Amino acid sequence: MSDSEAETFTYNGGSVAPGEAANIRYGVSETYLGDPVRIPVTIVNGERPGPTVFLSAAIHGDELNGIEVVREVANEWDHTELRGTVVCLPVLNVPGFLAQQRYLPIYDRDLNRAFPGSANSTSSKRIAHRIFRNFIEPCDYGLDFHTSTRGRTNMLHVRADTGDDRVDRLARAFGSNVIISSEGPDGALRKEATERGVPTITIEMGKAHEFQRDFIDRALDGVKSVFSEFGLRTTSAVKWPGWRTVVDGSSDKTWLRADSGGIVEMHFSRGSFVREGETICTITNPFETTANEVTAPFTGLLVGILQNPLVFPGNPICHLVELDAGTRRVIEREQRP
Ligand SMILES: [Zn+2]
């Protein structure tokens, strides 16, 4: 790349030359009043050549942490030394964001099942199409930020199809402790972008409806690390998180579900290490006449836990993933006082 020229970034309706940055409001649909529905886009094109990377958030309208990550990269980072182009998409699902709900309010559709979209199909697929064509397809890599669904909370982890070498490199470069490997569902931005030559990972962190500063800072470190791995920044280093576990098809992972209705008293926090047989939480009723203990079926990490402590039988309580022996030793060493 070093001997090539920096390229102009073009989308349907404009272009951003090397050394320029642009804030765009890009029309992706129309309201019932016929007004445009426009997504905010910031494109920063470095003076020097390098890869083009997109950062997206709020494809689920109430997942806020990623918005702040993307916004800070776009507006607060110094891009004078940038090699390549950064496409910042802080709020993909604008109708959901305005209503502060996960799905598109139009027929309650999941925008993250509508990619790569279609110009002549449903409203959600048309929105997806306009986003994908203009701002995803021209990129070389992508980072899509999410949080847990309302009522639950996640530790920061990456979801990626590590069977694909380019995705694996991107996932590791982000520097999270935990990577959960899967292709992802059909229609998800990460899967469809990856299949069309834009390796993309999802970053899951924390809960909906909040800005959680610790997560945002760690994610910004992850973005920095990715940028140095792929040469967009030469001033920061690729991050080694201290320990890393890749959860794939061969690892045990499970959502433990409540077998009784009641009030959950959680004994561990998100991200905790639990040993086989340990009591993760207790489910009681208001009279505290019965208490059902939920124990860990294997030694692992609590990647996600419920946030709302009220459950019906069958509701998910926590997401437990198995750790290999080497990772377990590192964590145990870290947790020793
Ligand atoms: Zn999400």
Nearest to 141 by CA among 71, 85, 94: 85
Look at residues 214, 190, 206 and name the one whose alpha carbon lies nearest to residue 136: 190
How far, in Å, is the centroid of ligand 1 from the Cα of 296? 26
Distance of CA 290 to the CA centre of its chain: 39
Between 97 and 329, residue with greater pLDDT = 97
CA of 234 to the centre of ligand 1 (A): 31
How does pLDDT run across 240-265, given as a tens digit for each residue?
Answer: 988 888 887 767 778 899 999 999 99
Q: What is the pLDDT of residue 271?
A: 81
Cα–Cα dist 224/234, whole Å? 10
**Interval between CA 203 and ligand 1 midpoint (Å):** 9
- pLDDT tens profile 132-165: 999 999 999 999 999 988 777 778 999 999 999 9
- Which of 117-126, 132-141, 207-216, 280-289 is predicted least confidently? 280-289
- Cis check for the bond before 116: say yes or no (omega within 30 of 0): yes
DSSP-assigned beta bridge partners for residue 264 = 283
Q: State in Å: Cα 112 to ligand 1 middle.
A: 8
**pLDDT tier, 68 (very low <50, low <70, confident <90, very high otherwise):** very high
- Three-state SS for 302? strand
| pLDDT of res. 92 | 98
Which pLDDT does position 1 carry in this prediction? 46
Determine the distance separating the centroid of ligand 1 and the alpha carbon of 184, expressed in angstroms. Answer: 12
Give me ligand 1 centre to Cα 278, in Å. 30
Write out pLDDT tens, residues 315-327. 999 999 888 777 7
Tell me the pLDDT tens digit for each residue of 196-235.
999 999 999 988 999 999 999 999 999 999 999 999 999 8
- The alpha carbon of 147 and the centre of ligand 1 are apart by a number of angstroms equal to 5
* One-letter amino acid of 168: D
Q: What pLDDT is stored for residue 335 in this prediction?
A: 61
Give the model's pLDDT for residue 270.
82
**273-276, long-range: CB < 8 A, 24+ apart:** 273/299, 273/300, 273/301, 273/302, 273/323, 273/328, 273/331, 273/332, 273/335, 274/299, 274/300, 274/301, 274/302, 274/320, 275/299
